[in-house]
Amino acid sequence: MKINTIKTLVFGTVVLFSISGCTNDFDQYNQEKLGGPENFYADFIAVVDPMKSMQRGLQADYQLYPNLSADMYSGMFSTASPFNGGVNNLTYSMMDNWNNRIIARQQDIFNYSIIIDNAAKVIYEGVDFTGTFAVKKILKVITAARVSDNHGPVVYSKYEKPNPNGTTDFDSQQDAYNYFITDLTAAITDLQKVIATSATQNVEDKSSLKNADLVYGGDMVKWAKFANSLKLRLAMRMSYADPVKSRQYAEEALASSAGLITDNADNALISVGQSELSFIIYSWGDCLIGAPLMAYMNGYKDSRLSAYALPATDSSVQGKYIGIRQGIDLLNGKTTYGGFSQPQAKSANGDYFSATDGKMKLFTAAETYFLRAEAALRGYTGAGDMKMNYESGVQQSFGEWGKSANVAAYLANTTDTEAPYIDPKNADNNVAAGNPQLSTITIGWNNTDTNERKLERIITQKWLCLYPNGPEAWAEQRRTGYPILFKIRKNDSGGLISTDAMIRRIPFTIDTKTSLYNYQQALQTLSGPDTGATKLWWDKK
């Protein structure tokens, strides 16, 4: 097993330095990471470098989170490596020293945000960083939303506001989501304000963002679209828990002058250099493709298959696309299953898993159309035509992966369904035709279907388009129940997590329980015990 160990920052709000306190640590960071004072005004490096670190931090420690949790639970990925003797997250035995990375990475990213705030105050006093700070706000929402979609309660609005006793309170997930929407709306307003200025105004702000931006190279119009698209995503996530606000926020996003990401040219992809998945998959062999993903794609004769996975090399399945079922007895590990299909991500615009020019997928045009399709299903104003949105989502996804020539035939397919799963190593893992763990949903749109059937079709295709964004795919699967996934066969939770109900969240870890975070207060915002069985606030279906 090759799992990186990355130092976890101190918990709580007493971080690298306080907003109003001394700057010794700040000065040391500047000297070590940015060079001497003479460099501070060179391209606003004291803001630019920590902004880059915020973005790259979203894939830091990727194996422990999300690959060995959300990625696997999404059905997109699996592994042949029997970590911890085969008793681990994949068999619902929660690995504390894996799952603690979720909050640790948030702390890293939020602490970089504080460094930026101090740089602006101490070094660049008087410089208007409105646009740059709007992007920073969006990055914080992305980060905190990922934490919340795993744990539920999250330290967000009070991250820099400790209690008199030194502890820091959590926001309930419900409150956090409303804060996220408020902050995204504010970020959009700020970005549009800077966009509307002349070329000779906000020069420092535009220059700093151009140098710091690993997604859009400083294009604030695209960032505003991205923020608005995220607002629509979060609004739809609330659809079962708070349908009134879900409608309100979604309709605001649909009507916003900022627009939405509706073309692959505007896809939000972080340029990370070396994708951490490049060595997790190809060097270590610790990540293979998930059985459900291959079952759907094989059944649908989906031409994106060759972009998502490599053919198996094992003699029993050589040349086929086959994944590993999650939560099984891996027998002899890689010796048994190591030759099953490896994941890849060869898009029309490059290899997302590249060791030199990798991309981390945050949001694409396809997702926008599927969100709009669901919004139309729910009767939200401004969503547009349901069928048109659904088909546009599929078309954009096929375009993302360079398979546009095949999309018409795919959308016309009204008969094919998910394929049965046959495990040549252990027939006990098979999911045969007729098994309720296999979906019967087809591809082609059918206006006469029930709304629930339409929802399954929308979300199943949305799930396919989200690849390789496992965290978002797992969140949507829990919210809607789609796509239908295979259940684990080996449950090591000791009765804490139901095999049938499947894992609903990731429990807090010892690091959080013993930190300056107010863990007892967080428990009060959960709808049940701090286990993997307790549903999140938005998980109300």
User: Each residue of 87-130: pLDDT tens digit?
Assistant: 999 999 999 999 999 999 999 999 999 999 999 999 999 999 99
Q: Are 233 and 367 in contact (CB under 8 A)?
A: yes
Contact predicate 411/390, CB 8 Å: no
Token pair for 404:
């546009």
| Residue 270 pLDDT greater than 50, yes or no | yes
d(CA 400, CA 319): 25
Pairing of strands 346-347, 350-351: antiparallel
For tokens 């659904």, the residue is 390
Domain contains 443: yes
Q: What is the mean pLDDT of the chain?
A: 93
Q: What is the pLDDT of residues 488-526, one digit of tens each?
A: 999 999 999 999 999 999 999 999 999 999 999 999 999
Q: Is residue 523 one of the residues assigned to a domain? A: no
Name the helix (H) or strand (E) containing 233. helix 220-237
The tokens describing 311, both together, are 């053919």
pTM: 0.93
Structural domain for 192, as ranges? 42-491
Q: How many CB atoms lie within 10 A of CB 189?
A: 14
Q: Find, among 393, 288, 257, 222, the residue nearest to 75 by Cα.
A: 288
Q: Residue 253 falls within a domain, yes or no? A: yes
Q: Domain for residue 288, yes or no?
A: yes
Bridge partners, 350 (sequence order): 347
Split at pLDDT 50, 70, 90, the class of 138 is very high
Q: What is the pLDDT of residue 35?
A: 47
Asked if residue 323 is part of any domain, the answer here is yes
∠ CA 289-291-296, nearest 5°, is: 105
Of 473, 522, 487, residue with least CA distance to 171: 522
The total of structural domains in the chain comes to: 1
Task: Examine the pLDDT at 467 and tell me if it is beyond 80.
Answer: yes
Whether 366 is in a domain gets the answer yes
Q: pLDDT at position 41, please?
A: 57
The secondary structure of 141-191 as a DSSP string is HHHHHHHHHHHSSB--TTTT---TTS-BPPBPHHHHHHHHHHHHHHHHHHH
314 by Cβ neighbours in 10 Å (0-12 / 13-18 / 19+) ranks as: middle
The C-alpha atoms of residue 194 and residue 209 are separated, in whole angstroms, by 12
Q: How confident is the model over 342-351, as pLDDT tens digits? A: 999 999 999 9
Q: How far is CA 270 from CA 4, 56, 368, 472, in A?
A: 21, 8, 18, 16
Residue 260 pLDDT > 90, yes or no? yes
Structure tokens at 251: 């309709």
Reported as a single tens digit per residue, the pLDDT across 367-417 is 999 999 999 999 999 999 999 999 999 999 999 999 999 999 999 999 999
Confidence of residue 13 (pLDDT cuts 50, 70, 90): very low
pLDDT digits (tens, 9 = 90+) for 321-340: 999 999 999 999 999 999 99
Helix, coil or strand: residue 114 = helix
**pLDDT confidence band for 293 (50 / 70 / 90):** very high
140 is a domain residue: yes
Q: CA nearest 191: which of 242, 234, 136?
A: 136
Residue 6 has pLDDT above 50, yes or no: no
Taken in order 257, 261, 265, 266, is the CA torsion positive or negative?
positive
What span, in angstroms and rounded, lies between the C-alpha atoms of 49 and 43? 10
CA distance 14 to 191: 30
What whole-number distance in Å separates Cα of residue 540 and Cα of residue 242?
9
Is residue 216 within 8 Å of 53, Cβ to Cβ? no
Reported as a pLDDT band with limits 50, 70 and 90, residue 43 is: confident
Percent with pLDDT over 90 in the chain:
92
Report whether 4 contacts 63 (CB < 8 A). yes
CATH number, domain with residue 303: 1.25.40.390
Q: Of the ranges 12-16, 363-367, 433-437, 448-452, which one carries the lowest mean pLDDT score?
A: 12-16
Q: What is the mean pLDDT of residues 244-259?
A: 98
Instruction: Tell me how far apart the alpha carbons of residues 89 and 503 are, in angstroms, rounded to a whole number.
Output: 10
Is 288:337 a contact under the CB 8 Å cutoff? yes
Judge whether 536 lies within some domain.
no
148 pLDDT exceeds 70?
yes
- For residue 82, what are the β-bridge partners? none
Helix (H) or strand (E) holding 78: strand 77-78
Does residue 21 have a pLDDT over 70?
no
For 161-175, the pLDDT digits (tens) are 999 999 999 999 999
Q: Which residues pair with 346 in a beta bridge?
A: 351
Look at residue 22 in the predicted model and tell me its pLDDT. Answer: 37
